[in-house]
Amino acid sequence: MSVWSTPSRKGEVHRLPFAAILVISFLAVSLQSYLPLHLSVVTILDLPLLVVIYFALARRSPVPALFGGALIGMAQDSLTRGPIGLFGAVKTVIGYVTSAVSVHLDTESTGVRFLTIFFLYGLHFGLLYFLGAVLLSQPIEVGIQERLLGALVNALVGVLLFKLLDRFRKTA
């Protein structure tokens, strides 16, 4: 089987138990806040973004993806020193865009997942930069090399994380 092919049907919708969604979201936001305090290497990783993308790809429905992105983003906002609502707004858009695009993609294939995460990481940063730096006058470093490395790392970790999370889902 190729990296670009998949054994499952295109357009298949998956659900996770509600308890699993809560635990996974809580762990992602908590680890995102806690790990960089002790390991500066993980600052490049955005676990809440990966969770929003995964839930949106699995569910394939814009409204739950929108709300999930908003809730996870607001939880992330509550644990940062930045303006409340910045991550909430950006992750809301990411959840919606991911869900809307997932209808047209075979989201079970590793290659598509990798490229999806890679490009959505770039969109995430672009939205953060626009909302934070342009509208709110917050200092945000652009650093193209760091952003490309961030996209690559998040895409690699995301593919592995998605394989792990796939074990908890059920076909809807």
Q: Please, what is the average pLDDT of the chain?
A: 88
What is the tens place of the pLDDT at every residue in 112-133? 999 999 999 999 999 999 998 8
Confidence category of residue 8, pLDDT binned at 50, 70, 90: very low
**Closest by Cα among 9, 27, 14 to 161:** 27
Answer for the pair 132, 80: CB distance below 8 angstroms, yes or no: no
pLDDT at 10 (0 to 100)? 52
* pLDDT over 80 at 88, yes or no: yes
Whether 128 and 165 have beta carbons less than 8 Å apart is answered as: no
What is the model's pTM?
0.88
Does residue 5 surpass a pLDDT of 50? no
Contacts of 148 (CB under 8 A, 6+ apart): none
* β-pair partners for 15: 170
Q: Taking the domains of the chain in order of start, what are their residue ranges?
A: 14-171
- For 10-40, write each residue's pLDDT tens digit: 556 777 888 888 999 999 999 999 998 888 8
